[in-house]
Amino acid sequence: MVAELWPGVPAAWSRHVQVPSSAAVDSPGTVHTWHILDNAPDLAARGVEPAGTLLCVHGNPTWSYLWRTLAAAGSTAERPWRVIAVDQLDMGYSDRTGTFRRLADRITDLGDLTQALGVTGPVVSVGHDWGGIISLGWALAHRKQLAGVVLTNTAVHPAGFSLPPALRLALHPAVHGWGTKTTDAFLRVTHALARPALRPEIRGAYAEPYRSAARREGVGNFVADIPADETHPSHRTLNRVAEGIRSLDVPVLVLWGPKDPVFSDRYLRDLISRLPQADVHRFEGAGHLVAEDRDIASPVFAWLEDVTAPAPAGAAVQDRPSGFRPMLAELDERRTDDSPAVVDMAPAGSGKPPAVLSWAELGSRVNALAAGLAGIGVRPGSRVNLLVPPGSELTTLIYACLRLGAVVVVADAGLGSKGLSRAIKGAGPDFIVGIERGLAGARLFGWPGTPVLAGEASPARRRLLGAAHTVAELTSTGAGQPVPDWQVDPDADAAVLFTSGSTGPAKGAVYTHRRLAAMRDTLRRTYNLRAGSSLVAGFAPFALLGPSLGATSVTPDMDVTAPRTLSAAALADAAAAVQATTVFASPAALTNVLATAGDLDPAQRAALGNVELLLSAGAPIPEALLNRVQDLVPAAALHTPYGMTEALPVTDISLEQIRKAGHGNGVCVGTAVDGARVALAPLSTGGTAGSEISEASGITGEILVSAPHVKDRYDRLWITEAQSSSLPGWHRTGDVGHFDADGRLWVEGRLGHVITTPEGPVTPVAAEQAAESVQSVRLAALVGVGPAGTQVPVAVVESVDPVRRPGPAGDSLSADVRAAVAERCGLDLAAVLVLPQMPTDIRHNSKIDRSALGAWAAQVLAGGRITAPGARR
């Protein structure tokens, strides 16, 4: 058994080092005793040569203990690294020097230590809090040794803002001495920032070096050395380092806790602007002590392997289209065309006609707005969050941003207030363009970005919203002005599109101009969407692509963030307005269209009768529902493309092909669309997907996609991106499925919803379809209850006639569901539970939140309080 000095720290790591000082604050010949944690003894015991050194620098009021998980991981990694975690002078167990050490002194101190230790290269500097700026100062002075930089919540500059309130309070003369030295208040407040709370023994280890006021002198001095303004003695050094790091050309990893009340996301954005090469991961829910809140060791060493290991021979790369046609090419070519481009439907009952914008008018508005946006500082790479409903104004905004090379950020209100707030703060836009409700939310939740109002408001209301500009004013100002001729790199970012949030916090999928254009081209080739087509966009993503396809587009009178608001009459009126040939609608929207079809008059039915193609994407669609839709659009070919925010479409199948495929294990989604490849990573007996790539039939695995229109990466989610692209050239979708003997793909559910029984993994969709074949069942979900590997399958259903109370299903319903599942799947259900209403994804209204259901089912079967689970927000 290894003796530990503190929890997680072997005694062998603890060292004291005599270091001659060259700091200006010390007299010549001064020698200081440093305490460090050093895993070199572990490496020596293994007889291995480290790949390099991680030089880890803590902030205030922590010490080297912060980096113990890195030291442990470095000792055991396949490519081991030496980890040297320092206690800065006057901190931890290092000497109390009796001198006030400024930022410049501390950078010099760190250089003295590495010289005394004989540290050469390669070195990766690691910093947290004010240790971040010190580690970066060391990095600038030791460029020949530097191989990389890792940063956790830190700052190198005030980032254009005043100091955070917490630091201003700590610096206040009435608080500073008492809070940082006389008492341990500053320590306790810092330790309380951990999410979840630190275990008592961990909190005790952090506090141990600072038990007396004399031991806390450095804590107080550290706070006092924060440059609050340009007159502060350390401001010049801070500014030198902050500007100097712009020239660093080494790999950078930033791991961030966005719940930090001190170093908020504004400091992350500042770091990214100075270190644009940085790989960034934001741990949702984590805070200031991110190294305690989350496992940072695993991603750090995975990143080190990624940036320092040679590329494997023959590694595949994502396909790229051979040519590139800009997203605005069609718009530019039709600049004199007076035919309709975008049609806005008036609200039902308003008596107003549709508002029509021609191609020529759209092109003029796009150019005028682009010039106006450039006038307020929108530049290539600027992030512009759009909180505007689909229609001509949103279309104009999107193409104006693309014209300038700005990055469009789209996260719709269907995420709910919390989900939307997480998404926008994570994306960190420079500008927010929104309707009044959107800007009110920005003000309320503190979303970043200069606010621009879409619509009109009184001067007082505009001041309240903080909107110095409106879209109308910018368009007027830019009219007749030249649009800046900024050449846009096809591989520069074009858009950040957020996922639905149905499987966890919404993720931002980043598309470059090339990949966005490839999505357009894939849709064009797959569905023969050509100039002159006219489409009804009841599914938000397609409202954005219409002009680039050269198609006249109309958004029906509906709330696109709530698909069930689309009525049959609204769909038909929109189709009539543009003589629509194509309709895009989500499954939830189609469900309500069918429910309201009885309200259609003959003219509306005739308009739907002219539709040639109907596409529905976003969730699996039962064949029975499609058959009813076919009756509504009798001349249309019905297709259900399979895809996701990260790649749309991936496969395609028609209603005729669905009928031919018949029943099977899951939902048949057809074959890959033009230019896409689909494969599987087979599941293990434990329900995990490995690294083997297979196209064999009859094998269940995680679905893999490779295509020119797959997202470039996840935004500021390096860990998530590394996992999703762990097989070079492929995107791991997180869905599971199999190929049949004819090469068709069947989707069986989500990887996270696979049930791990003693007999092996069970996917949910086939059993859910079987349960839904029972006449009295409207919706069903299969969940696993119990520890991994020993789970039992439980069906949760919503009945056609809603029950009043959630809980175990009645005997008759339970028997019918059990029999149906056993007959089709050979699966013996452990229980059948019933809910008044399923918790579904807010945006699609069709994706069942199985995670919430699984937790609820376990609670019910354990005899706990029965309360229905809520929808994910």
Which strand (E) or helix (H) includes residue 625?
Answer: helix 623-632
Question: Per residue in 494-507, pLDDT tens?
Answer: 999 999 876 778 99
Q: Is 14 in a helix, a strand, or coil? A: strand
Q: Please, how many CA atoms are within 13 Å of residue 494, restricted to the half-sphere of its CB? A: 25
Q: What average pLDDT score do residues 66-75 get?
A: 98
Q: In one letter, which amino acid is 366?
A: V
pLDDT classification of 161: cutoffs 50, 70, 90: low
| Domain assignment present for 412 | yes
Question: Per residue in 45-65, pLDDT tens?
Answer: 999 999 999 999 999 999 999
Same domain (yes/no): 177, 218: yes
CA distance 361 to 142: 57
Instruction: Choose between 229 and 499: higher pLDDT.
Output: 499
Q: What angle do CA 351, 357, 362 make, to 5 degrees?
A: 155
Same domain (yes/no): 605, 666: no
Q: Are 748 and 700 in contact (CB under 8 A)?
A: yes
Q: Is this prediction's pTM over 0.85?
A: yes
In Å, what is the CA distance from 100 to each residue of 155, 330, 651? 21, 65, 66
pLDDT at 517 (0 to 100): 95
Provide the Cα torsion 389, 393, 396, 402; round to 10°: -30
| Domain assignment present for 503 | no
Q: Are 362 and 340 in contact (CB under 8 A)?
A: no
**Backbone phi, then psi, for 584, in 5-degree steps?**
-110, 130
Residue 846 has pLDDT above 70, yes or no: no
Residue 422: domain span: 362-488
pLDDT at 522 (0 to 100): 95
| Domain assignment present for 115 | yes
| Domain assignment present for 520 | no
Q: Are 51 and 120 in contact (CB under 8 A)?
A: no
Q: Is 444 in a helix, a strand, or coil? A: helix
Of the three residues 461, 488, 515, the one that is the final residue of a domain is 488
pLDDT classification of 311: cutoffs 50, 70, 90: low
CB count, 10 Å around CB of 193? 21
Q: Are 123 and 136 in contact (CB under 8 A)?
A: no
pLDDT at 870 (0 to 100): 62
Same domain (yes/no): 43, 180: yes
- Which CATH number characterizes residue 118's domain? 3.40.50.1820
Residue 163 has pLDDT above 70, yes or no: no
**Backbone phi, then psi, for 833, in 5-degree steps?**
-115, 155
Which strand (E) or helix (H) includes residue 366?
Answer: helix 359-375
Question: Per residue in 341-378, pLDDT tens?
Answer: 999 999 888 889 999 999 999 999 999 999 999 999 99
Which strand (E) or helix (H) includes residue 854?
Answer: helix 850-861
- Which CATH number characterizes residue 800's domain? 3.30.300.30
Same domain (yes/no): 388, 413: yes
pLDDT at 676 (0 to 100): 97
pLDDT at 159 (0 to 100): 55
Residue 760, phi-psi category: left (phi > 0), alpha (psi -120 to 50), beta (remainder): left
Same domain (yes/no): 111, 252: yes
Question: Per residue in 445-496, pLDDT tens?
Answer: 999 999 999 999 999 999 999 999 999 999 999 999 999 989 889 999 999 9
Q: What average pLDDT score do residues 527-540 get?
A: 85
Least confident of 19-33, 150-164, 428-442, 832-846: 832-846
CA distance 789 to 548: 49
- Which CATH number characterizes residue 686's domain? 2.30.38.10
Q: Choose from 221-235, 339-353, 727-741 the range with maximum mean pLDDT.
A: 727-741
Same domain (yes/no): 734, 857: no
pLDDT at 651 (0 to 100): 97
Same domain (yes/no): 480, 561: no
Q: What average pLDDT score do residues 516-542 get?
A: 87
Residue 316 has pLDDT above 50, yes or no: no
Q: What average pLDDT score do residues 229-257 get?
A: 95
In Å, what is the CA distance from 371 to each residue of 341, 382, 477, 535? 21, 14, 8, 29
Percentage with pLDDT > 70 across the chain: 95
Q: What average pLDDT score do residues 557-571 get?
A: 87
pLDDT at 871 (0 to 100): 47
| Domain assignment present for 331 | no
Q: In one letter, which amino acid is 724?
A: S
pLDDT at 817 (0 to 100): 97
Residue 530 has pLDDT above 50, yes or no: yes
In Å, what is the CA distance from 856 to each residue of 475, 795, 807, 850, 863? 52, 12, 10, 10, 11
Residue 255 has pLDDT above 90, yes or no: yes
CA distance 98 to 85: 23
One-character DSSP codes across 37-88: EE-HHHHHHHT---S-EEEEE--SS--GGGGHHHHHHHHHSSS--EEEEE--
Q: In one letter, which amino acid is 544?
A: L
Same domain (yes/no): 429, 285: no
Q: Are 493 and 716 in contact (CB under 8 A)?
A: no
Number of separate domains in the chain: 5
pLDDT at 624 (0 to 100): 86
Task: Sort 340 into a burial class: Cβ within 10 Å, 0-12 / 13-18 / 19+.
Answer: buried
Same domain (yes/no): 629, 699: no
pLDDT at 160 (0 to 100): 56
Q: Is 227 in a helix, a strand, or coil? A: coil
| Domain assignment present for 324 | no
Same domain (yes/no): 557, 675: no
Same domain (yes/no): 687, 764: no
Residue 841 has pLDDT above 60, yes or no: no
Least confident of 120-134, 321-335, 416-430: 321-335
| Domain assignment present for 715 | no
Average pLDDT, the chain: 92
Q: What average pLDDT score do residues 221-247 get?
A: 93
Residue 236 has pLDDT above 50, yes or no: yes
pLDDT at 314 (0 to 100): 44
Question: Per residue in 581-627, pLDDT tens?
Answer: 999 988 889 999 999 999 999 999 999 999 999 999 877 788 888 99
Task: Sort 79 into a burial class: Cβ within 10 Å, 0-12 / 13-18 / 19+.
Answer: middle
CB neighbour burial string for 527-537, b if at least 16 within 10 angstroms, e if fewer? bebeeebbbbb
Residue 415 has pLDDT above 50, yes or no: yes
* Closest residue by Cα to residue 159 from 264, 8, 9: 264
Percentage with pLDDT > 90 across the chain: 81
pLDDT at 247 (0 to 100): 97
What residues contact residue 775 under an 8 Å CB cut-off, 6+ apart? 800
Residue 535 has pLDDT above 70, yes or no: yes
| Domain assignment present for 871 | no
pLDDT classification of 315: cutoffs 50, 70, 90: very low
pLDDT at 541 (0 to 100): 64
Longest dimension (CA), the chain: 98
CB count, 10 Å around CB of 20? 13
Same domain (yes/no): 210, 286: yes
CA distance 749 to 324: 35
**Backbone phi, then psi, for 706, in 5-degree steps?**
-135, 125
Q: What average pLDDT score do residues 644-651 get?
A: 94
pLDDT at 543 (0 to 100): 62
Residue 873 has pLDDT above 70, yes or no: no
- Which CATH number characterizes residue 534's domain? 3.40.50.980
Of the three residues 597, 613, 640, the one that is the final residue of a domain is 640
Question: Per residue in 268-301, pLDDT tens?
Answer: 999 999 999 999 999 999 999 999 999 999 999 9
